[in-house]
């Protein structure tokens, strides 16, 4: 089994687990031991799944403005948590491949393994929800066909992205590519770097 085969299976499990309650406030029940990569991936996709539904809720045209502001701040916090977890995933790979002898011809990739895995996590959500739309019986044949076509493209995307990630990991393991862990240095949540926040001091 490749890394992405396991990851895709795990992401699908998370999404099913979430939809047992379909509640953004439902507590997470992570079945994997703490500090393991599976535990981190489960948490990562759970955060993505909750945020997916928060984004749906905030787009309600009749939402109360006060509630919308609270949701926006919750989404901002979720984005920070998501970024932190991406960095943890990259740290896992960096430590795993630390002993690899990098070839003189090795090159760096345009994105790190974890940011590609982040896209894989979101893709799992798109597939789940597009499948729901493709299986609806209360829509026209045209809408059903359009959703099925989109689902087919998403499934193809998952194959392609999974293949690319597994190849990237193999290249890193073989010393043909190397990676770095860049901290994202987000500024908008930092009271020392966001002018709106430090201007109020």
**pLDDT tens per residue, range 157-167:** 999 999 999 99
Task: Express as a percent the part of the chain with pLDDT over 90.
Answer: 89
What pLDDT is recorded for position 98? 94
In angstroms, the CA 175 to CA 178 distance is 7
Task: Express each pLDDT in 72-131 by its tens digit.
Answer: 999 999 999 999 999 999 999 999 999 999 999 999 999 999 999 999 999 999 999 999
pLDDT band at residue 186 under the 50/70/90 scheme: low
- Is residue 23 within 8 Å of residue 51, measured between CB atoms? no
Domain boundaries, the chain: 3-198
- List CB contacts of 115: < 8 A, sequence separation 6 or more: 86, 90
pLDDT for residue 181 is more than 90: no
What's the rounded mean pLDDT across residues 2-26? Answer: 98
CA torsion 27-11-117-155 (nearest 10°) is -140
pTM of the model: 0.90
State how far the Cα of 110 lies from the Cα of 29, in Å rounded to an integer.
34
Count other C-beta atoms under 10 Å from residue 55's C-beta.
Answer: 12
At 79 the pLDDT is 94
């Amino acid at each position: 089994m490749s890394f992405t085969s396991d990851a895709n299976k795990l992401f699908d499990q998370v999404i099913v687990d979430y939809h047992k309650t379909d509640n953004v406030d439902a507590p997470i029940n992570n079945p994997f031991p703490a500090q393991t990569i599976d535990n981190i991936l489960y948490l990562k996709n759970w955060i993505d799944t909750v945020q997916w539904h928060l984004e749906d809720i905030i787009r309600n045209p009749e939402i109360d403005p006060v509630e919308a502001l609270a949701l926006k701040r919750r989404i901002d916090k979720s984005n920070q948590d998501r970024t932190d977890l991406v960095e943890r995933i990259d740290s896992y790979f960096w430590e795993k491949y630390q002993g690899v002898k990098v070839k003189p011809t090795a090159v760096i990739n345009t994105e790190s393994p974890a940011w590609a895995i982040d896209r894989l996590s979101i893709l799992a959500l798109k597939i789940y929800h597009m499948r729901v739309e493709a299986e609806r019986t209360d829509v026209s044949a045209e809408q059903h066909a359009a959703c099925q076509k989109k689902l087919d493209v998403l499934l193809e995307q998952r194959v392609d992205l999974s293949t690319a990630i597994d190849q990237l990991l193999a290249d890193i393991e073989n010393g043909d590519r190397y990676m770095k862990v860049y901290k994202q240095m987000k500024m908008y949540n930092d009271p020392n770097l966001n002018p709106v926040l430090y201007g109020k001091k």
